[in-house]
């Protein structure tokens, strides 16, 4: 008997299993292939806009993804560095060979965590509560909680042109019956689709004609408490490739042979909008003369390249022709063909914000099974499901991040409030409070919370405390240092072409002015003992305080609505006059509070008023008793 069983050792599963064991519970992590844990089945990169912030959030909560990425990448970039402070994010090219090894080491080092091989085909249920899992060989494992992180392995099919192969990703075994059984227990099953491009042998590529893409000349890390593991001059390059008229012609001529367009796909299987196949791009953007593609190395230990942007479900012979039409890839040899994959997911409307299922108690789900896409999105749900599984066993309130706490909060709230149509990817535009959800302050937003619930170690917390103190000290120094406008000071302003302040002013207030940088302030105060990170933090919060404070005020308003809880036992049929669409949506989603209720599409402000009135009428009676 285990406390917790985690099914699947992908990016969601390992974060879930790790945090459960770390928080003190006996955990079993089941994988259908132990040689395939932490597999990066698609792109060889982690991070990116918004996603990079999620990685930092996972790290701030005590998760693994940030650290493992830092230890296994061979190129890193700060995206949008020149565009503005709030949308910066890290992206790293990860060595696909190294990453799983590093992860495996972290898992092996984790006490109370056991790894076993086995394909789960059913769950054990008693009184609407999960009690364990049943494997394909009928072996049973019992536990108090089960976390399903099955990725694209549920009832999956691989499609290449008219070939339809019963298989998990790249030839792995799939789970044949688990989604079918879940359906039997009342869980709605959706059919989703995604795809992956070709892998190409490096020695067959003519790199000389391709444009290079390099990493940054700076030691960035995802993790707040790890030192860089590589040397800058050892960074690997990526390359740019472009489609051309010939490529487009080949695709157009063979459209009916693609699984997508030829009608070989299961009816109703939905692919992601943000991740269109190359044939999709050609059809939908027919006026575009070329499409940009990226060649990214998969590993420094084997010579295979990933062709980002060329995902397709064309048959093999067409794939060859398409590829050979590209400049630099005229003689390219395909080591793995591109394919589309169809798989089952659950309907995230049926889960709570804690990621526990509404129908079956003690059953949690995380990652692609919830309808998301992406390693980072999966890992984020993994750690949250793990934390909430532990809190459930401890009989404590679930740990729910708000939309203004973290991108993770936005992600989960979107899933459980709005549901999904196509696989969900995080984008900065999904976050309404992104001036606050920055990558530089992920630890300030989350580490204290993580420490309180027990997912962050004392050691990590101490490092965090030191950083916070440094920031506070820097602020204080700038505040205390009053600038007396004498001739000497005036001269410094004039040399730098900056208007001289009208009267004496402290440095922190001065920093508020748009044209003043902290670099300039170093003319008046010695800041050499402060780290770059601390300086950046203070600069952002001070310089853009007008905008940032506006966002904090909006958050205060939202927080008040969040305090207005909706009782779990509410009967929506009893609310008079509420629109029937709103009623059925409320019934289905069962929001936790008024703020969440008002985010449901189809629930209008009038309905919210009526709901408030009903709550007051029904539940204030109890207060009076």
Partner 1 sequence: MDDTICAISTAQGIGAISIIRVSGSEAIKIVQSIFSNEIKSKETHVIKYGKIIYNKEIIDEVLLMVMRSPKTYTKEDIVEINCHGGYNTTNMILRILLDKGCRLAEPGEFTKRAFLNGRINLLESEAVNDLIMAKTDSKRKLSLNQIGGKLTIKINEIRDMLLSLMANIEVNIDYPEYTDNLVITKKLLNEKLNEIAKYLSKLVKESEYGRIVSNGIMVAIVGKPNVGKSSILNSLLDEERAIVTDVAGTTRDIVEGVVSLNGIEVKLVDTAGIRETKDVVEKIGVEKSLEIIQKCDVILFVIDATTGITKEDKKILNKLDINKTIIFANKDDLKHKKIITNFEIVYGNAKTLDGLDNLKNKLIEKFNISEINRDLTYLSNSRQLDLIKKANDSLINGLNSLKNNIPIDMIETDLRACYEYLSEILGERYEEDLVNRLFKDFCVGK
- Name the residues that contact partner 1, by CB under 8 A: 42-43, 49-50, 79-80, 83-87, 196-197, 213, 240, 272-276, 281, 284-285, 288, 290-292, 294, 308-309, 311, 427-430, 432, 434-435, 514-515, 544, 547, 550-551, 557, 560, 576-577, 601, 605-606, 609-610, 612-613, 616-617, 620
The DSSP secondary structure of 273-342, one letter per residue, reads: TTS--HHHHHHHTTT-S--EEEEEES-SSS-EEEEET------HHHHHHHHHTSTT-TT--EEE--EEEE
Report which of 264, 285, 275, 269 is spatially closest to residue 311, judged by C-alpha positions: 275
CB-nearer residue toward partner 1: 31 or 373: 373
CB-nearer residue toward partner 1: 71 or 342: 342
The DSSP secondary structure of 529-544, one letter per residue, reads: TS-HHHHHHHHHHHHT
Q: What's the min distance (Å) between Cβ of 436 and partner 1?
A: 11
Q: What's the min distance (Å) between Cβ of 49 and partner 1?
A: 4
Question: Using only C-alpha atoms, what is the Rg of the chain?
Answer: 26
For residues 191 and 100, what is the distance between their CA atoms, to the nearest angstrom?
A: 28
For residues 278 and 340, what is the distance between their CA atoms, to the nearest angstrom?
A: 12
Q: What's the min distance (Å) between Cβ of 30 and partner 1?
A: 29
Burial of 262 (0-12, 13-18, 19+ CB in 10 A): middle
CB-nearer residue toward partner 1: 485 or 615: 615
Q: What's the min distance (Å) between Cβ of 27 and partner 1?
A: 33
- Name the packing angle between helices 407-418 and 51-60 (round to 10°): 110
Q: What's the min distance (Å) between Cβ of 560 and partner 1?
A: 6
* Residue owning tokens 């993804």: 65
CB-nearer residue toward partner 1: 66 or 271: 271
For residues 225 and 119, what is the distance between their CA atoms, to the nearest angstrom?
A: 36
For residues 14 and 35, what is the distance between their CA atoms, to the nearest angstrom?
A: 14
Q: Looking at the DSSP assignment, which residues form a beta bridge with residue 482?
A: 506
Report which of 381, 77, 108 is spatially closest to residue 221, judged by C-alpha positions: 77
Q: What's the min distance (Å) between Cβ of 175 and partner 1?
A: 25
For residues 577 and 401, what is the distance between their CA atoms, to the nearest angstrom?
A: 33
Report which of 407, 445, 427, 433 is spatially closest to residue 224, judged by C-alpha positions: 445
Q: What's the min distance (Å) between Cβ of 428 and partner 1?
A: 5
CB-nearer residue toward partner 1: 96 or 281: 281
Q: What is the DSSP letter of 337?
A: -
Q: What's the min distance (Å) between Cβ of 561 and partner 1?
A: 9
For residues 197 and 134, what is the distance between their CA atoms, to the nearest angstrom?
A: 34
Q: What's the min distance (Å) between Cβ of 216 and partner 1?
A: 13
Q: What's the min distance (Å) between Cβ of 289 and partner 1?
A: 9
Phi, then psi, of 372 in degrees rounded to 5: -95, 180
CB-nearer residue toward partner 1: 6 or 586: 586
Residue 509 Cα distances to 505, 525, 533, angstroms:
7, 14, 20
Q: What's the min distance (Å) between Cβ of 609 and partner 1?
A: 6
For residues 246 and 249, what is the distance between their CA atoms, to the nearest angstrom?
A: 5
For residues 361 and 359, what is the distance between their CA atoms, to the nearest angstrom?
A: 6
For residues 86 and 436, what is the distance between their CA atoms, to the nearest angstrom?
A: 8
CB-nearer residue toward partner 1: 153 or 306: 306
CB-nearer residue toward partner 1: 84 or 263: 84
* Residue owning tokens 């600069």: 539
CB-nearer residue toward partner 1: 43 or 69: 43
Vertex 263, ends 259 and 268: CA angle to 5°?
A: 100
Q: What's the min distance (Å) between Cβ of 616 and partner 1?
A: 5
- Strands across the sheet containing 304-308: 211-213, 238-242, 292-297, 304-308, 199-201, 334-336
Q: What's the min distance (Å) between Cβ of 144 and partner 1?
A: 38
Q: Please say whether the beta carbons of 313 and 259 come within 8 A.
A: yes
Q: What's the min distance (Å) between Cβ of 434 and partner 1?
A: 8
Report which of 567, 570, 579, 572 is spatially closest to residue 604, judged by C-alpha positions: 579
CB-nearer residue toward partner 1: 139 or 617: 617
For residues 235 and 547, what is the distance between their CA atoms, to the nearest angstrom?
A: 37
CB-nearer residue toward partner 1: 308 or 350: 308
CB-nearer residue toward partner 1: 237 or 430: 430
CB-nearer residue toward partner 1: 268 or 514: 514
CB-nearer residue toward partner 1: 7 or 570: 570
Q: What's the min distance (Å) between Cβ of 87 and partner 1?
A: 5
Query: For every residue of 570-592, which 3-state class applies, written as one string?
Result: CCHHHCCCCCHHHHHHHHHHCCC
CB-nearer residue toward partner 1: 399 or 424: 424
Q: What is the DSSP letter of 358?
A: S
Sign of the C-alpha dihedral computed for residues 295, 438, 9 and 381 taken in this order: negative
Burial of 450 (0-12, 13-18, 19+ CB in 10 A): buried
């Amino acid at each position: 008997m285990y406390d917790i069983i985690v099914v699947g050792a992908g990016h969601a599963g390992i974060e879930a299993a790790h945090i459960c064991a770390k928080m003190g519970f006996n955990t079993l992590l089941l994988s259908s292939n132990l040689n395939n844990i932490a597999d990066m089945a698609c792109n060889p990169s982690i991070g990116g806009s918004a996603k990079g912030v999620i990685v930092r959030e996972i790290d701030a909560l005590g998760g693994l993804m940030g650290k493992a990425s830092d230890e296994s990448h061979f190129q890193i970039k700060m995206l949008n560095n020149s565009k503005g402070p709030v949308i910066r994010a890290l992206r790293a090219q990860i060595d696909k060979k190294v990453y799983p090894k590093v992860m495996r080491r972290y898992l092996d080092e984790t006490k109370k965590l056991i790894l076993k091989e086995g394909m789960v085909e059913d769950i054990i249920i008693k009184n609407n509560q999960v009690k364990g899992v049943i494997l394909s060989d009928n072996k049973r494992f019992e536990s108090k909680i089960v976390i399903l992180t099955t990725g694209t392995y549920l009832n999956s099919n691989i499609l290449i042109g008219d070939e339809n192969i019963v298989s998990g990703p790249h030839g792995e075994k799939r789970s044949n019956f688990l989604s079918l059984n879940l359906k039997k227990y009342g869980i709605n099953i959706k059919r989703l689709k995604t795809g992956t491009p070709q892998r190409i042998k490096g020695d067959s590529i003519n790199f000389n004609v391709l444009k290079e893409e390099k990493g940054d000349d700076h030691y960035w890390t995802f993790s707040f408490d790890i030192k860089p593991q590589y040397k800058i001059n050892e960074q690997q390059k990526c390359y740019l490739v472009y489609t051309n008229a010939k490529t487009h012609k080949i695709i157009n001529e063979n459209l009916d042979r693609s699984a997508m367009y030829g009608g070989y796909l299961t009816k109703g299987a939905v692919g992601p909008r943000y991740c269109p196949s190359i044939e999709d791009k050609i059809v939908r953007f027919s006026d575009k003369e070329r499409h940009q593609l990226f060649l990214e190395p998969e590993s420094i230990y084997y010579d295979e390249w990933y062709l980002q942007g060329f995902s397709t479900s064309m048959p093999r012979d067409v794939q060859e022709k398409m590829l050979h039409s590209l400049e630099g890839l005229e003689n390219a040899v395909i080591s793995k063909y591109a394919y589309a994959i169809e798989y089952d997911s659950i309907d995230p409307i049926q889960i709570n914000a804690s990621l526990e299922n509404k129908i079956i108690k003690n059953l949690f789900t995380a990652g692609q099974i919830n309808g998301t896409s992406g390693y980072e999105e999966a890992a984020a749900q993994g750690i949250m499901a793990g934390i909430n599984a532990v809190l459930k066993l401890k009989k404590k309130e679930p740990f729910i991040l708000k939309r203004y706490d973290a991108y993770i909060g936005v992600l989960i709230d979107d899933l459980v409030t709005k549901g999904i149509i196509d696989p969900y990817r995080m984008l900065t535009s999904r976050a309404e409070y992104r001036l606050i959800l920055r990558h530089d302050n992920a630890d300030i937003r989350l580490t204290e919370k993580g420490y309180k619930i027990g997912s962050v170690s004392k050691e990590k917390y101490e490092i965090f405390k030191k950083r916070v103190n440094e920031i506070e000290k820097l602020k204080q120094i700038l505040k205390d240092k009053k600038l007396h406008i004498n001739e000497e000071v005036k001269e410094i302003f004039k040399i730098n072409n900056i208007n001289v302040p009208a009267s004496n002013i402290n440095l922190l207030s001065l920093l508020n002015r748009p044209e003043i940088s902290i670099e300039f302030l170093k003319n008046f105060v010695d800041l050499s003992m402060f780290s770059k990170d601390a300086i950046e933090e203070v600069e952002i919060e001070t310089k853009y305080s007008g905008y940032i404070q506006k966002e904090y005020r909006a958050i205060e308003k939202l927080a008040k609505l969040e305090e207005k809880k909706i009782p779990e036992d509410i009967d929506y049929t009893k609310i008079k006059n509420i629109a029937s669409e709103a009623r059925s949506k409320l019934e289905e989603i069962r929001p936790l509070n008024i703020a969440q209720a008002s985010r449901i599409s189809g629930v209008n402000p009038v309905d919210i008023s009526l709901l408030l009135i009903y709550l007051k009428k029904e539940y204030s009676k109890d207060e009076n008793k």
